[in-house]
Structure 1
Amino acid sequence: MEWLAEWPTVHELVDELVLSLKRRQSRGSYETAKMTTHVLSKVLETVKWSTAGEILEKIRQLGHMLTKAHAHELAIGNVVRRVLYIIREEHSNALKLSSMDTAAPVSAPPSSSRNHNLSRSLGTILTPGTDTDLSIPIADLKLSVMEGIAELIDEIDSLHVNIADQAMEYIHTDEVILTFGLSLSVEAFLKMAAKKRSFKVIVVESAPSLNGQRTAHALAESGIHVTVIPDSAVFALMARVNKVVVPAAAVVANGGLIAQSGLQNIALAAKKCSVPVVCVAGLIKLSPLYAHDLDVLSELLSPSSIYNYEDIVETLEVLNPAYDYVPPECVRIFITNTGAHQPSYIYRLLAEYYSPQDYQLS
């Protein structure tokens, strides 16, 4: 990207982020989203641009480069799409205000235009309309966009707190909760509930990574009654469980989720026993793509964690997938930083957070 070379400070920040992503140095989606938002904010603030179309093209190029650096971390693309949506939204709002100021307000009451904008129909959301002219210069557009980015940064910073604040509505006294894997959101959610509720938690150890043991240790330090079980015991104990509370690596467009390998078995066992599965995930994990469009499901880890090299025969092929896909019919509800949503409502969230033009960044 030749335009980036004109801004050495920003270029250095971008190179550092790309190198960090390639080396897998970021710790989870939350930290990756924060780093990506910080770099995009610096680009928008430093690089010279005068129209929305000009900066949209540059951010798309940058987003494509970042997602290529770590294709399996979907939060990167989600943050880029959110920034692109903010730019489009601020540009559109500025044009509407400009047209309202120049139009003669004699044919309709002052509130009619606002009411019309607020009452967009379902057909309007799902049907792509004519694009606004992104080449029109807008005064103070950069300031409005930076304010929107600041709100996005605040949203990411308060993500875990906003999710945890909803815990009392879903965790009740004397319940048995089953959880899986390692997640700051799930940990904060259960710890908040434990302040006023007495309940038991069964933690699946999540072999071969054994992340569940770290989760169990963190919950036990907060005074929660914790039992650790192997993955093979999930089905046997599911009948005693009241709820399954799990994290997600990504929430896809049809309401399904991508999660650490092993969660699909838990979700199927819960469905068989009619136990509700509650997915705790911030909206930075909301992806407009479908599972069959994602490379993340093809990521394979080293087989050394599940099979000793000295035991492998010449004709044996060992696959160790990193992620599972859980279909929407296995999930009861998603708890996000903006509230609780059913899988069937995901399409509406996508319309509110992303623009269809930005679903594909390439």
Structure 2
Amino acid sequence: MTESETAAESKVESRAPEVKGEHAAETKKLTNKELKELKKKEKAAKRSAKKQENGVTVEEQQKLAQAKREKKRQQREHQQQQQRERELKNEAKQQKKRHIKKSTLFGHLETTEERRGTILALMSAITASQVSRITAAGLMVPTITSGSMVAKTPASSAGSSSDEVTSTAELAKSLATMNLESEEFSVVPGMSSIIPRATEQLFSPPQAVTSFKELLINKSLVHPAITLLTFQLANYKIVGSIPRCIAMLEAFQQVVKDYQTPHGTTLSRNLTSYLSHQIDILKKARPLSVTMGNAIRWLKQEISVIDPSTPDKEAKRILCEKIAQFAREKIELADQLIIDAGSQHVENGSTIVTYGSSKVVTDLLIYNAVELKKDFEVIVVDSRPLFEGRKMADRLRSRGVNVVYALITSLDSIFNMDVDYVFLGAHSILSNGFLYSRVGTAMLAMCAKRRNIPVLVCCESLKFSQRVQLDSVTLNELADPNDLVTIRPDNSSVDHSHDDLLSQFIKEREEQKKNSSQENKPNGKSSSPITVPPADDSKRNILDGWQNIHSLNIVNILYDLTPPEYIKKIITEFGSLPPSSVPVILREYKSLA
């Protein structure tokens, strides 16, 4: 090697670090994104070179890359399609839930619509000629097959016209011709039923499905007297704590008389379980009152102490006599003692205010007017939607009592009429002294307290409860919100003869038939559109269609709580006592009260 070549090589070697430094300087000027792209290209070039060495041409590599991109695109489209389907399902569920609303405050309480939905499905299964059966798909519920079921309900038999009964019976017969396997039916998960779509979500919670299945499995154990009483309670044909308890005891007497002890067991062991099935049905009509709960506990205690060696006929006779004695002592004799004690506060020329309708208060006023010949005036305060005070006012007027009827909206004017006493009935007296009674009682008691008017509560000890409650939200009963919507021109009381759920079902069936007939037209030609006459706005209720208004909820609560400081005394069969003495009665007379 010559000296010139050696010098050239040394120059190149000395120049190499300078070139590397310039290349590093250039890469430093690139952004992070550009650097990532550069590295991707370098890796792609290496992979391509490696594939070419393995015999894969550039065209084949491009085809493989295109197939991979197409596969990813199809996967994305499939995921988007699934997402759209889920959104449509959620929207359909939301549309269903709009039919049954619950307010935020009382959303934990069972609504009347939910109870009637269960009764509609349950009673259709009880009166069906088919038999409900359990299959692998769930519980199969037969359809309504008896036209007499609807025609014989208390709601339709009490005051309904013959045309309405006939149309209702024809409607039930048309329902009987439907086939369960038809695809037109809406199917409750785990159950095949004719329940309307509007009530499917009632059985969506697992505990509701379990409870409903248990009721249907034991439907053969339900006594006809209990079925009749359930309809009467659900339609508010029997209202009031004491009348409901008396009706229940009478039904239980009939149940005990017709009871037959199964082979291999005894009456004292099996009758309690048999009554539990009857009670479960009654709970679906309305929540049990405190008097009903106390009477049920007493009856189960009496059944448990029956000697197993006692013949069934003798045991049933003893139980029926005890039930009659219980009603006589705890209700009739107790009311007589309350009337005697309360009569001391009714004087000639006095003015008495009462609210709603209470059996013992009504008997007290009639006793003083008819038996004791006292001259006094009674102001009956009433409220929507049940208008119970009308019955009380009519009964008092028929017995010669001077009656003034007024609504609760005029309380200020009422208490400007020199009122002497306020007599109130009670649904229950809680152990902390609170009065649990018809909604509006607390407002009336508060107005009386502000004017120093004594508030007297007439209450049997059977209505005393061990429960402690500080508000009327935690435990209460929700009535039908449509009772507050409908205002009838004849000012009649609430009529529950028309079941909203059944009407909803008929509406859905008509829509399905109309849609199916249009789809089955030849050549896709639909029938001429039906012209609907314009609605008369003068006859339209402003709250019609409130279920479709998302921001509107109508709450019809039945009871409220009156604090003990508004109550002067409670008149019971044990005497007159302040609200603070209620726990003493519960403790000392626990076995009796």
Report the equivalent of 2:95.
none
Secondary structure of 1:329's counterpart equals helix
Choose the corresponding residue for 1:289, options 467, 471, 479.
467
Choose the corresponding residue for 1:322, options 558, 562, 576.
558
List gaps (5 residues or longer) in structure 2: 1-214, 489-539
Q: For 1:310, give the aligned amino acid.
A: I
Report the equivalent of 1:212.
389
Distance 2:486 2:394 in 1: 22
Report the equivalent of 2:541.
309
Contact 1:72/1:299 (8 A) holds in 2:
no
Report the equivalent of 2:521.
none
Report the equivalent of 2:571.
335
Give the C-alpha shift of residue 350 in structure 1: 4.0
Give the C-alpha shift of residue 319 in structure 1: 3.1
Distance 1:153 1:18 in 2: 20
Moved more, 324-333 or 292-301: 292-301
Q: Does 1:70 align with 2:286?
A: yes
Distance 1:294 1:81 in 2: 23
> For the aligned residues, what is the CA RMSD?
3.8
Give the C-alpha shift of residue 348 in structure 1: 4.3
Report the equivalent of 1:121.
none
Report the equivalent of 2:438.
260
Q: For 1:296, give the aligned amino acid.
A: N
Give the C-alpha shift of residue 209 in structure 1: 4.4
Contact 1:36/1:79 (8 A) holds in 2:
no
Distance 2:302 2:463 in 1: 17
Distance 2:467 2:288 in 1: 13
Q: For 1:67, give the aligned amino acid.
A: K
Instruction: Flag the 1:39–1:316 CA change in 2: closer, same or farther, 3 A.
Output: closer
Q: For 2:252, give the aligned amino acid.
A: L
Report the equivalent of 2:252.
40
Moved more, 294-303 or 259-268: 294-303
Contact 1:277/1:332 (8 A) holds in 2:
yes
Distance 2:468 2:412 in 1: 28
Structure number with bigger Rg: 2
Give the C-alpha shift of residue 316 in structure 1: 4.3
Moved more, 259-268 or 220-229: 220-229
Give the C-alpha shift of residue 83 in structure 1: 1.4
Distance 1:58 1:286 in 2: 27
Choose the corresponding residue for 1:225, options 402, 406, 413.
402
Contact 1:257/1:328 (8 A) holds in 2:
yes
Instruction: Flag the 1:55–1:328 CA change in 2: closer, same or farther, 3 A.
Output: farther
Q: For 1:226, give the aligned amino acid.
A: V
Secondary structure of 1:218's counterpart equals helix
Choose the corresponding residue for 1:184, options 349, 354, 359.
359
Choose the corresponding residue for 1:243, options 421, 424, 429.
421
Choose the corresponding residue for 2:295, options 54, 67, 79.
79
Q: For 1:25, give the aligned amino acid.
A: K
Give the C-alpha shift of residue 21 in structure 1: 3.2
Report the equivalent of 1:26.
238
Distance 2:227 2:390 in 1: 36
Q: For 2:398, give the aligned amino acid.
A: E
TM-score by length of 1: 0.68
Distance 1:159 1:338 in 2: 9
Instruction: Flag the 1:355–1:67 CA change in 2: closer, same or farther, 3 A.
Output: farther
Contact 1:258/1:326 (8 A) holds in 2:
yes
Instruction: Flag the 1:28–1:198 CA change in 2: closer, same or farther, 3 A.
Output: same
Secondary structure of 2:225's counterpart equals helix
Report the equivalent of 1:132.
none
Give the C-alpha shift of residue 182 in structure 1: 2.0
Distance 1:247 1:55 in 2: 34
Distance 1:4 1:353 in 2: 35
Report the equivalent of 2:103.
none
Secondary structure of 1:197's counterpart equals coil
Instruction: Flag the 1:18–1:294 CA change in 2: closer, same or farther, 3 A.
Output: farther
Which runs of structure 1 show a deviation greater than 6 angstroms over 4 or more consecutive aligned residues? 1-4
Distance 2:364 2:269 in 1: 41
Instruction: Flag the 1:66–1:214 CA change in 2: closer, same or farther, 3 A.
Output: closer
Moved more, 162-171 or 301-310: 301-310
Distance 1:65 1:213 in 2: 30
Give the C-alpha shift of residue 137 in structure 1: 4.2
> Can you list the C-alpha shifts for 1:7-51, whole angstroms capped at 9, x where unaligned?
xxx733333333433344324333322221123234444343647
Instruction: Flag the 1:222–1:32 CA change in 2: closer, same or farther, 3 A.
Output: same
Q: Does 1:272 align with 2:450?
A: yes
Secondary structure of 1:25's counterpart equals coil
Report the equivalent of 1:193.
368
Moved more, 280-289 or 77-86: 280-289
Report the equivalent of 1:149.
323
Q: Which has the higher contact order (CA 8 A, sep 6+)?
A: 1
Give the C-alpha shift of residue 190 in structure 1: 0.9
Q: For 1:203, give the aligned amino acid.
A: V
Distance 1:39 1:171 in 2: 36
List gaps (5 residues or longer) in structure 1: 95-135, 357-362
Distance 1:217 1:19 in 2: 26
Q: Does 1:166 align with 2:344?
A: no
Instruction: Flag the 1:214–1:24 CA change in 2: closer, same or farther, 3 A.
Output: closer
Moved more, 211-220 or 241-250: 211-220
Contact 1:63/1:77 (8 A) holds in 2:
no
Q: For 1:344, give the aligned amino acid.
A: S
Contact 1:171/1:193 (8 A) holds in 2:
yes
Distance 1:191 1:34 in 2: 21
Q: For 1:320, give the aligned amino acid.
A: N
Contact 2:351/2:421 (8 A) holds in 1:
yes
Give the C-alpha shift of residue 151 in structure 1: 0.8
